[in-house]
Amino acid sequence: MTGKYIAMLIMVAIVTLGVIPSTFADEVVVYSARKEHLIKPLFDLYTKETGTKVRYITGNAGALMQRIKAEGSRTRADILLTVDAGNLWHAADEGLFQPVKSRVLEKNIPSHLRDPGNRWFGLSVRARTIAYNTDRVSPEELSTYEDLGSPKWKGRLILRTSKKVYNQSLTAMLIVEHGLEKTEDIIRSWVHNLSTEPFSSDTKVLESIAAGQGDVGIINTYYFGRLMKKKPGLPLALFWPDQDGNGVHVNISGAGVTTHARHRGKAMKLLEWLSTPAAQTIFADSNMEYPVHSDAKLHSIVKSWGSFRENLINVSRGGELQAEAIRLMDRAGYR
Ligand code: FE
C-alpha cells in the first residue's frame, strides 16, 4: 500500500467515525466568554512563541456552557474561559471541567483565586469595590460594604441589579463573612438606601453617580477604568472598603480544561503560559484588571488607583453559596 492510499483510508475512517481531522493538528480550542479583542492578541503571541494554533469561539458564558454540555464527548472545546468564579463553579459543578495537576499553575496563581479541586484557575482579578461622587462625598465618610446601609446614605446609594452574577458572588462572600442573618440585614439596609431602581450595568451605576442621581455605588474596577478613560473629567473615584477588616472583595476571570478535551496536554500548557508574568501583564492590561501573578506589571491607570488589601476567602465560595445568595437577595427585596 502506498502512503497516499493509507492516508486516504485514514481520512475515510475519520469521516465515518465523525472525528474532526484537526484533532491531529497542533492546536488547542478555546470557548471564550471574554470578547475577541481581549484574547486574540494573547493567542496570537502564544502561536508565535510555541507554534500551537489557538482556535476560539466567543459567546455568552451560559450559552457556551450549554453548548459544551450538549456536545458532550464530541465537544471541540479544550478550554472554557469565562468571568466570575460563580460561573466557573457552575461549569465545574456541571462536570464540564477535569482536574489539572500543575505545579506551574499552583505556583503562579494564589490559592484563593483557583478551585480547591484544581478544575479552574483565575487568570485575572477584578475588585468589586465602592465608587463615589467626589463633589458630594469625601473618602473619610466611607468605610465598609456594610456601612453603605447606614442612615447617612439614605437615598444616596446606587446598585446594579441582583440578577447579575457579580452581585450574587458579592452577596455569597458576605454570607461567608457575616452569616445569613446579618447579610440579609445588610442587603435590606442597602435596598432601603437606594436612590433609584437598580441598573442593568456597572457603567450605568457609575454614570448615574457622576450625574448626581446618587452618591455611592458598588462596581467592578475595570468599568471605572473604561469610563474614566473615555471621560476623564467625571467627578468619580474609587474607595477600598474593609481595609481594617476582611479587605476588598475580588473576583476573577478564569479557565479550566474541559472534561472531554482532545488536546488535554496542550490545553494545560496554554493555561500555564497564561499564568506567566509576561502573559499576565497583557491579559490584565487588555481589560484594566489586576494580574494574578505578582510579578506581572500593572496598567498605568490601574496602578494610579493605589494598592489595597484584598479579601482572601476562596472565590469558589461565591459559586457554592450562589443559590443561597439569590434567595437572600429576594427576601431582602433587592431586585
Ligand atoms: Fe464585566
Residues 186 and 320 reside in one and the same domain: yes
**Cα 189 to Cα 42, 132, 166, 183, distances in angstroms:** 43, 18, 19, 10
Residues 58 and 140 reside in one and the same domain: no
Distance 262 CA to ligand 1 centre (A): 30
Distance 33 CA to ligand 1 centre (A): 10
Query: Based on the structure, what is the number of domains in the chain?
Result: 2
> What is the model's pLDDT at position 24?
54
Residues 193 and 323 reside in one and the same domain: yes
Residues 21 and 113 reside in one and the same domain: yes
Distance 164 CA to ligand 1 centre (A): 10
Distance 335 CA to ligand 1 centre (A): 19
> What is the model's pLDDT at position 23?
55
- Per-residue model confidence as pLDDT tens for the chain (335 residues): 445 544 544 444 333 333 444 555 799 999 999 999 999 999 999 999 999 999 999 999 999 999 999 999 999 999 999 999 999 999 999 999 999 999 999 999 999 999 999 999 999 999 999 999 999 999 999 999 999 999 999 999 999 999 999 999 999 999 999 999 999 999 999 999 999 999 999 999 999 999 999 999 999 999 999 999 999 999 999 999 999 999 999 999 999 999 999 999 999 999 999 999 999 999 999 999 999 999 999 999 999 999 999 999 999 999 999 999 999 999 999 99
State residue 123 phi and psi, 5-degree precision: -120, -15
Amino acid at 97: F
> What is the model's pLDDT at position 25?
74
**CA separation for the pair 255, 61 (Å, rounded):** 12
Pair 195, 214: CB distance under 8 Å: yes
Distance 104 CA to ligand 1 centre (A): 27
Distance 19 CA to ligand 1 centre (A): 36
Global pTM?
0.91
**CA separation for the pair 274, 196 (Å, rounded):** 41
Pair 90, 79: CB distance under 8 Å: no
Distance 15 CA to ligand 1 centre (A): 41
Coil/strand/helix, residue 124? strand
Flag whether 191 is in a domain: yes
Distance 317 CA to ligand 1 centre (A): 19
Pair 199, 160: CB distance under 8 Å: yes
Q: Which three cell numbers stand for residue 207?
A: 454614570
Flag whether 255 is in a domain: yes
Instruction: State the CATH number of the domain containing residue 229.
Output: 3.40.190.10
Coil/strand/helix, residue 56? strand
Q: Which three cell numbers stand for residue 252?
A: 476573577
Residues 240 and 281 reside in one and the same domain: no
**Cα 286 to Cα 40, 153, 245, 249, 334, distances in angstroms:** 10, 34, 31, 21, 32
State residue 304 phi and psi, 5-degree precision: -65, -15
Residues 192 and 322 reside in one and the same domain: yes
Residues 192 and 319 reside in one and the same domain: yes
Distance 18 CA to ligand 1 centre (A): 37
Residues 233 and 294 reside in one and the same domain: no
Residues 216 and 258 reside in one and the same domain: no
Residues 119 and 143 reside in one and the same domain: no
**CA separation for the pair 169, 190 (Å, rounded):** 16
**Cα 132 to Cα 26, 79, 316, distances in angstroms:** 49, 38, 28
Distance 223 CA to ligand 1 centre (A): 7
Domain around 327:
126-249+315-331
**CA separation for the pair 310, 326 (Å, rounded):** 24
Residues 37 and 96 reside in one and the same domain: yes
> What is the model's pLDDT at position 103?
98
Flag whether 304 is in a domain: no
> What is the model's pLDDT at position 21?
47
**CA separation for the pair 291, 61 (Å, rounded):** 21
> What is the model's pLDDT at position 15?
35
Distance 24 CA to ligand 1 centre (A): 35
Of 247, 246, 207, 212, the closest CA to residue 223 belongs to 207
In the chain, DSSP assigns E strands to 27-32, 53-58, 79-83, 121-133, 157-158, 216-220, 236-239, 249-257, 290-291
Distance 288 CA to ligand 1 centre (A): 11
**CA separation for the pair 276, 279 (Å, rounded):** 6
Distance 209 CA to ligand 1 centre (A): 18
Distance 59 CA to ligand 1 centre (A): 14
